[in-house]
Structure 1
Amino acid sequence: MMLQIRDLHAYYGKSHVLRGVNMEVKPGEIVSLLGRNGVGRSTLCKSVMGLVTPKGDIQMEGKQLAGLPPHRVAHAGVGYVPEDRAIFPGLTVAQNLELGMKRRGQTGAQWTLDAVYKRFPRLKEREHTPAEVLSGGEQQMLTMFRTLMGDPRCIMVDEPTEGLAPKVVADVAAILEEIATAGIAVLLVEQKLSIALQISHRVYVMGEGKIVFDGTPESLQDNPEIRKEWLEV
């Protein structure tokens, strides 16, 4: 198992956000975490990453992550693409990508500057452009590829298609599938049910800080009660 979460709890002050979450992601698998806004999906990613103090069991390839600081979680092989993208606006595209490397001049990494530019030539065209002037879609791609530059074995991607044009959404979906094909475990937090059902191997639905559904995309499609109660607005 790549990422395994057991009985995970998290709090913001006295607010109990995650209430005993259990889930797992295997190598080469895309797992989507669905749910309405505010149910705790982003908090789960931040808890895994050490940005929120968790209570419970979080293991990456059998190594305990709960309680570790973010840099140690990253070095354990977990990559995180936050919802707000968190680019460095005053730095160029190339400088943002280079900051994603675990160490300068690393060898044997699957994702290098050349590999990124080949996969998304638009970033090559804007290599020396400050990241702040990129379009929303370009910034999303920059954030995803910067995370991949760290050569993670598991990547958590929070709402990557929010506000993007359909063409860019299709590009994001294709890249996520390519990442999984390379054996990387993908945890996708997504609002768009269509994208999640299209590319996921399994889906979890979260409601009120708990997992209320765990199954295949097909089984979720065949379960209108779950969709109506926990997903539809």
Structure 2
Amino acid sequence: MVLLEALNLEVRYGGISAVKGISLAIEPGEMVCLIGANGAGKTSTLKALARLLPSSGEIYYGGEHIEKLPAHALISRGLALVPEGRGVFARLSVAENLDMGAYHRNDKDIESDLQRVFQLLPRLKERQHQLAGTLSGGEQQMLAIGRALMGRPKLLLLDEPSMGLAPLMVHKVFEVIRDIAAQGVTILLVEQNARLALEVCSRGYVMESGQITIADKAEALAADPRVRAAYLGE
């Protein structure tokens, strides 16, 4: 069964077509990457899938048409986006940011989920009373991921989690992403560090000028001369 499927997805900004009728599919438990240069349409694709941008075409999530649903309706269905640039609430504490991730929930497991996030991301527990805006870039990225996890996602859309981070922090963030995937969360990863993305994912799509030009298993993409020349610096 396919968890997420987009058919002929198109996103336009006025007269400019940013995403040009792409199709993609992700099965439960997969970790799939979407790689490409700046301006290829990767972020627009994620925002359209999360219903933060209007689009044409069809989007199915869990077998349900979702292209007409508002973004907030997808959170309770288990689809969460960690946006490019992290987007934390700078004037709220770490704990308050995490609480915002569970805003739609009224069950009794929120506290236990919070403790699981703290176990996965111990730095957040250490800094839970600190204002989010005073965290380092890597800590804010971890907070954005933790906030999304508080919604109990089945599918996590990650947009450029390594952007602007020091190499050591990139390593730590991707360790966390691997751990999340190991817990059964399906992941669609947009990442400019193509080498790293292909190392952690099982499949990938290459996007160029709003179109998907190559789709294959990660190891095949890593060996493809076109990918190696354009995205792996070889």
TM-score, normalised on structure 1?
A: 0.94
- 1:31 maps to which residue? 32
Deviations 1:4-24 (A, max 9, x none): 111101101111111111111
Deviation at 1:232, TM superposition (A): 5.5
Q: Deviations over 1:171-230 (max 9, x none)?
A: 221222222222211000000022112100101000111110101121112211244357
**Paired position in structure 1 for 2:172:** 171
1:21 is matched with 22
Deviation at 1:76, TM superposition (A): 2.1
In structure 2, the partner of 1:86 is 87
CA contact 1:49–1:74 (8 Å) conserved in 2: no
Question: Which sections of structure 1, spanning at least 5 residues, go unmatched?
Answer: none
TM-score (norm 2): 0.94
Return the letter of the residue paired with 1:18.
V
Counterpart CA distance in 1 for 2:216 and 2:67 is 26
Amino acid at match of 1:197: L
Gaps of 5+ in 2: none
* Counterpart in the other structure of 1:199: 200
Deviation at 1:104, TM superposition (A): 5.0
3-state secondary structure, aligned to 1:112 = helix
Quick check: 1:31–1:187 contact (8 Å CA) kept in 2?
yes
- Distance, in Å, in 2 between the alignment partners of 1:165 and 1:229 is 23
**Percentage identity across paired residues of the two chains:** 38
- CA distance in 2 between counterparts of 1:114 and 1:180 reads 18
Q: 1:4 to 1:108 in 2, by over 3 A?
A: farther
**AA aligned opposite 1:152:** P
Q: How many residues align?
A: 233
Task: Tell me which amino acid in the other structure corresponds to 1:220.
Answer: L
Structure 2 counterparts to residues 65-214 of structure 1, below 5 A: 65-104=66-105, 106-108=107-109, 112-214=113-215
Larger deviation, residues 213-222 vs 28-37: 213-222
Segment of structure 1 superposing worse, 164-173 or 52-61: 164-173
